[in-house]
Amino acid sequence: MSSVAAHDLDVTGVARLVLDEREPLVQSGDAATGADYRLSILDTKVPPLYDIARSIPARCEALAPGANSYRFRCQPQLNADDSLLFPWALAGVVLISNWRDGSSYSSYFRGDGAFVETPLAELKAPSAALSRLALQYLALGVEHILFGLDHLLFVLGLMLLLGRRPQLPATDSHFMRYAKTITAFTLAHSLTLGAAVLGWVSVPTAPVESLIALSIVLLAREALGSRRGNTSLSTRKPWLVAFGFGLIHGFGFASALGELGLAAGDVPLALLFFNLGVELGQLGIAAGALIASVLIARMSDTPSMTGPTALLQSRLATAASYGLGGIALFWFIERLPSLGLA
């Protein structure tokens, strides 16, 4: 029987639920093939289920609710063909299932804007549950880097910094420079994300959000400097800068990801695939920037277009750097009140 402690719904709009399967209190006739269930909602801000009967299979009957939980009985017991349906406009739910044979599995289920359906097939078969969990968190990682504006702008800032190549060794290819920088950022935020989610380190959200905005401002400044021919450390070895700032961004990922709410044994897998998803998203952005850079370079090889194209490329990169820095500076100033400094 799992212990339940209610807390606020995390910033991602993901609710955490625990489903406990138990022997039926009354054993008579075919009742031995049935089971009693307790559904506990761990988040205080999740809307209540006014009619639990609408969320459970038709053959199941609702029982008197318990403290901070809903109870129901199914005859026969829940199986891999069943689903639970929740009338919540949430991003999704994490459901932990504790079966009476002693096994325990967890998985993340997406919402469709009106309901969240949780097919139990993913929680009845261990291999299916783990495969689905891995794919879900891989997709979450990709989405977070593509739609998490802070981190997206930081990666775009890295691309602007990498777009200008001052006297590099002949053996240091442009692609490898991109790959090393992006991988250094991923490695760094993986360290702090893992430490935060596993509870080894706790950092307040407000200073992290402010530092992330400041990191984008500084990166935009370095990108502008690189276009003017500066050869600072960030220009010569951008992967070191990416690693340093990545440590800060990792705490930001942890804040956005929220408390995973998974079974303890599933957390490492979820973290691994979330980070792989982030890496795929970043490499996708880097590949796009690299392809655009190559296409522009080929256009610039045309004698009649060399001057105008090179000038246009330079002006666009400069404008993008100023825009990036301006947005991040606005965020930084906007977030100062949360630090108690303004």
Q: Are residues 262 and 148 in the same domain?
A: yes
How many residues does the structure list for the chain? 342
Do residue 53 and residue 200 come from a single domain?
A: no
For the chain, give the mean pLDDT.
79
Give 84-108 pLDDT, tens digit per residue: 999 998 888 989 999 988 888 888 8
Residues 195 and 163 both lie in one domain: yes
Confidence (pLDDT) at 11:
46
Q: Which domain holds residue 185?
A: 134-339
**What is the tally of structural domains in the chain?**
2
pLDDT at position 243 over 50: yes
Which segment of 20-29, 54-63, 241-250 scores lowest on mean pLDDT?
20-29
Query: Would you say residue 67 has pLDDT above 60?
Result: yes
Q: For the full predicted model, state whether its pTM sits above 0.95.
A: no
Domain end marker among 124, 157, 191: 124
Q: Could you report the per-residue pLDDT of 273-326, keeping only the tens digit for each?
A: 888 888 888 888 877 776 776 666 565 554 444 455 566 667 777 888 899 889
Instruction: Please indicate, yes or no, whether residues 25 and 120 belong to a single structural domain of this protein.
Output: yes
What are the phi and psi torsion angles at 269 (to 5°)?
-65, -45
Q: Is residue 310 part of a domain?
A: yes
Query: Which residue, 91, 124, 157, sits at the end of a domain?
Result: 124
Q: Is residue 4 part of a domain?
A: no
7 inside domain = no
* Model pLDDT for residues 262-278, shown as the tens digit of each residue: 667 777 888 888 888 88
d(CA 68, CA 2) in angstroms, rounded, equals 13
252, 168: one domain: yes
Q: What pLDDT, on a 0 to 100 scale, did the predictor assign at position 297? A: 59
Same domain, residue pair 172 and 306: yes
- d(CA 51, CA 65) in angstroms, rounded, equals 11
Q: Are residues 244 and 149 in the same domain?
A: yes
Task: Please compute the mean of the pLDDT values over residues 249-260 and round it to a whole number.
Answer: 74
Say yes or no: 194 and 105 in one domain: no
Let me know if residue 8 belongs to a domain: no
The confidence score (pLDDT) of residue 173 equals 66
Q: Is residue 39 part of a domain?
A: yes
Cβ pair 40, 22 in contact under 8 A: no
pLDDT value, residue 36: 93
Residue 31 lies in a domain: yes
Domain assignment present for residue 276? The answer is: yes
Q: Are residues 93 and 223 in the same domain?
A: no
Mean pLDDT of 159-179: 63
Tokens of 246: 């990545």
Q: What is the pLDDT of residue 4?
A: 44
Q: In this structure, are strands 60-62 and 14-22 parallel, antiparallel, or unpaired? A: unpaired
What is the three-state SS of the chain? CCCCCCECCCCCCEEEEEEEEECCCCCCHHHHHCEEEEEEECECCCCCCCCHHHCCCCCEEECCCECCEEEEEECCCCCCCCEEEECCCCCEEEEEEECCCCCEEEEEEEECCCCEEEECHHHHCHHHHHHHHHHHHHHHHHHHHHHCHHHHHHHHHHHHHHHCCCCCCCCCCHHHHHHHHHHHHHHHHHHHHHHHHCCCCCCCHHHHHHHHHHHHHHHHHHHHHHHCCCCCHHHHCHHHHHHHHHHHHHHHHHHHHCCCCCCHHHHHHHHHHHHHHHHHHHHHHHHHHHHHHHHHHHHHCCCCCHHHHHHHHHHHHHHHHHHHHHHHHHHHHHHHHHHCCC
Q: What is the pLDDT of residue 296?
A: 60
75 in the same domain as 179: no
Q: Specify if 46 maps to a domain.
A: yes
174, 225: one domain:
yes
**Single residue among 124, 146, 161 that ends a domain in this structure:** 124
Residues 138 and 114 in one domain: no
